[in-house]
Structures are given as structure tokens and as C-alpha cells.
């Protein structure tokens, strides 16, 4: 089992995931959906719905697309743990939801942030001999790619990559979701920090036509978080609340895969520790992530 008292390296996370799939083969399934630039397998953990569930709907969850945001990884691991071990106490309507979860979408960057540079953000792609390393995986998605808030310079922290979907990590997710886009009703990507629940669009200060419902569900997630830990999360349109940034995964999920409820959740904190959130915050932040996920699952399962 995994402790939530410290941040873990990829090797230990993989052992934990292997253990889960061996111990709970009826509930947990693992699929390798591709490889990172440095050939690390990208593994999706599927948590299956109740055996006799009808009208099954899927939710996508990822963490660790940005290397230094360790709390996103630990929170996704925490919620996997909850979904498996507290299965019996989950609200009944959650039982027709199938979760597709990837705790570390950017394993190369994650490793680098552990071993070399704590505040590394991008992946580790060596674009070419005379360029800087790494593309920002959250500027690489094929929806309004390369517009505002993304850079064409390889040395920039928000480098968009050579073209839309140029990175293997992006490609793996795109391929996986696009095999069956209609079954996904929710998309949650965990980041840090700021305590925000953000929804599209992020490429411009513009909202989709269904933004009222999307906002309401976002607000319900924030209310559940508040109930769980008394922390405040602010809900709103990404470009307006934060800044315009094109090519992020949430915009792709909504714009291309047509997943109605797509959110970026910026976890703790609001700036005191920022990316270097102390391990003592892992458990409570995990609870916040789980509160958000169960609220979204409930909303989605009761929607026609
Ligand atoms: O800039 C980002 O990629 C995200 N913030 S972070 O500090 N974790 O890097 C926010 C992305 C919000 N979504 C869109 N702009 N579409
Ligand atoms: Zn981020």
C-alpha cells in the first residue's frame, strides 16, 4: 500500500498500481496507452462500474501533466485508493460510472523534478540539437493550438511544441479517448496551484453555450470541497479567472472530444507554498480531489 505522508517516485507508484490490479482484478484494469518521450509506459487505471450497472458513463481523470505539480499526482493516487477501498460506502449513483485514470501524464518531467530541478514544468523532449528541452504538454492540444498564451520558442515554459499534438504524451490520450469519445461525460485534469475549478474556454475569454450548467456543476464541486476541508475553491471560466492559454487539455476535451463537463482543477494552495506544498497537505488535498470527483460522478450519473 501507499502512504499519503510523502510524495512518491514513479517506481513505487507503479508497484502500487500493479498491486491493485492483482488484488482487485474485478474492479481494476490497467492499460498501457502509449509511452513518454523517454519510453516510460503511460498507464491508464480503469475502475469498473458495478457489475449490474446499466447506462454506464465514463469519466477521464489525469494528474501530473506538469512535472512540478506533485500534489496533483498524489491527489489522483488518493482518489484511486478511495474509489477502490471505500467502494461500498460510495453513493449508489456513482456505481454506473467507469473511471479512466492516469496519475502521471508526464513521467519524464516528474522524474526530472524529483532528481534534478524541482520546479521543472514541461516534458523532456529534445526537440532538436539547438533548441531547449521540453514542450509544455498543456499547450500542445489540437484545439485553437498556438493562439494566445502559448509560445513558439522552445526555451519558454509555455512552449507549445512543434505542432499540435506533437508530443507522445498528448497523442496517447487523444488516441485513447477518441476510440470512444461518446462514452466520456466528464474530464478532470488536476494541477496546482491556486484553488480554482476552471472550465473552458481557456483559449479566449469566451464561454461555451452550456456554460450555465458547467458552472453549476463546478460550483457543486467547490461546495463539496468546502464541506470536506473548509477550503475555498473559486469556480469560473479559465481565461477570465486565470489568463488566456490556448492548447490546454480541457479545451481539447470539450472542443474536440465534445465532453460536456471538462474542468481543470488547480489544487492547493493559494500561494504560501505554491508548487512546493509540504507533504502534510497530501491527505487533505486528496480529500478535496475526491470530493470534486464524487460530486462530478453524481451529477453525471443522474443526467440523462
Ligand atoms: O497554465 C496552465 O496550463 C494551467 N495552470 S498551471 O499553473 N497549473 O500551469 C491552467 C490551464 C487552464 N486551462 C486552459 N487555459 N484551457
Ligand atoms: Zn499545471
- The residue length of the chain stands at 304
188, 191, 207, 238, best to mutate for ligand 1 pocket (most atoms within 8 Å of CB): 191
CA count, 13 A, side-chain hemisphere, 156 = 14
CA count, 13 A, side-chain hemisphere, 91 = 14
**What string of pLDDT tens digits covers the 304 residues of the chain?**
799 999 999 999 999 999 999 999 999 999 999 999 999 999 999 999 988 898 999 999 999 999 999 999 999 999 999 999 988 777 777 789 999 999 999 999 999 999 999 999 999 999 887 889 999 999 999 999 999 999 999 999 999 999 999 999 999 999 999 999 999 999 999 999 999 999 999 999 999 999 999 999 999 999 999 999 999 999 999 999 999 999 999 999 999 999 999 999 999 999 999 999 999 999 999 999 999 999 999 999 988 7
Residues enclosing ligand 1, CB less than 6 A? 66, 69, 138, 191, 198, 202, 238, 242, 245, 248, 250-251, 264, 266
Residue 230: closest CA among 291, 278, 188, 279:
291
Please name the residue that has the C-alpha cell 487523444: 174
Distance CA 152, CA 70 (A): 26
The pLDDT value recorded for residue 25 is 95
User: Which ligand 1 atom minimizes the distance to the CA of 250?
Assistant: 16
Tell which phi-psi region holds residue 247, choosing left (phi > 0), alpha (psi between -120 and 50) or beta: left
Judged by its nearest atom, the ligand closest to the C-alpha of residue 68 is 2
70, 73, 138, 256, best to mutate for ligand 1 pocket (most atoms within 8 Å of CB): 138
Q: How would DSSP label each residue in 38-63? A: T--EEEEEEE---TT--S-EEEEEEE
Cβ distance 153 to 26 under 8 Å? Answer: no
Judged by its nearest atom, the ligand closest to the C-alpha of residue 63 is 2
Whether the complex's predicted ipTM surpasses the cut of 0.95: yes
The pLDDT value recorded for residue 231 is 98
The pLDDT value recorded for residue 100 is 98
Q: Is the pTM of this model over 0.80?
A: yes
Ligand 1 centroid vs 304 CA: distance in angstroms?
30
Q: Which residues pair with 57 in a beta bridge?
A: 97
Active site residues per annotation: 266
**SS3 of 218-254:** HHHHHHHHHHHHCCCCEEEEHHHHCCCCCCCHHHHHH
Ligand 2 centroid vs 122 CA: distance in angstroms?
10
Amino acid at each position: 500500500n501507499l502512504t499519503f505522508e510523502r510524495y512518491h517516485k514513479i517506481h513505487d507508484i507503479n508497484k502500487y498500481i500493479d498491486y491493485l490490479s492483482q488484488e482487485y482484478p474485478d474492479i481494476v484494469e490497467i492499460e498501457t496507452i502509449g509511452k513518454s518521450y523517454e519510453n516510460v509506459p503511460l498507464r491508464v487505471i480503469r475502475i469498473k462500474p458495478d457489475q449490474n450497472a446499466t447506462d454506464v458513463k465514463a469519466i477521464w481523470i489525469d494528474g501530473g501533466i506538469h512535472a512540478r505539480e506533485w500534489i496533483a499526482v498524489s491527489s489522483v493516487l488518493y482518489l484511486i485508493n478511495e474509489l477502490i477501498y471505500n467502494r461500498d460506502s460510495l453513493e449508489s449513483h456513482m456505481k454506473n460510472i467507469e473511471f479512466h485514470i492516469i496519475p502521471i501524464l508526464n513521467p519524464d518531467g516528474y522524474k526530472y523534478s524529483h532528481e534534478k530541478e524541482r520546479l521543472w514544468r514541461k516534458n523532456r523532449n529534445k526537440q532538436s540539437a539547438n533548441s531547449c528541452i521540453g514542450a509544455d504538454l498543456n499547450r500542445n492540444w489540437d484545439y485553437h493550438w498556438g493562439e494566445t498564451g502559448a509560445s513558439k520558442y522552445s526555451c519558454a515554459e509555455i512552449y507549445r511544441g512543434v505542432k499540435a499534438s506533437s508530443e507522445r504524451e498528448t497523442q496517447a490520450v487523444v488516441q485513447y479517448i477518441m476510440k470512444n469519445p461518446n462514452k466520456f461525460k466528464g474530464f478532470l485534469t488536476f494541477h496546482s496551484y491556486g484553488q480554482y475549478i476552471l472550465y473552458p474556454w481557456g483559449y479566449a475569454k469566451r464561454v461555451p453555450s452550456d456554460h450555465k450548467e458547467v458552472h453549476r456543476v463546478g460550483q457543486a464541486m467547490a461546495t463539496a470541497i468546502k464541506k470536506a476541508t473548509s477550503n475555498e475553491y473559486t469556480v469560473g471560466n479559465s481565461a477570465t479567472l486565470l489568463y488566456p492559454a490556448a492548447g490546454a487539455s480541457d479545451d481539447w476535451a470539450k472542443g474536440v472530444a465534445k465532453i460536456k463537463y471538462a474542468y481543470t482543477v488547480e489544487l492547493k494552495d493559494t500561494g504560501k507554498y505554491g508548487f512546493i506544498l509540504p507533504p502534510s497537505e497530501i491527505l487533505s488535498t486528496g480529500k478535496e480531489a475526491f470530493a470534486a470527483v464524487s460530486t462530478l460522478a453524481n451529477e453525471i450519473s443522474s443526467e440523462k
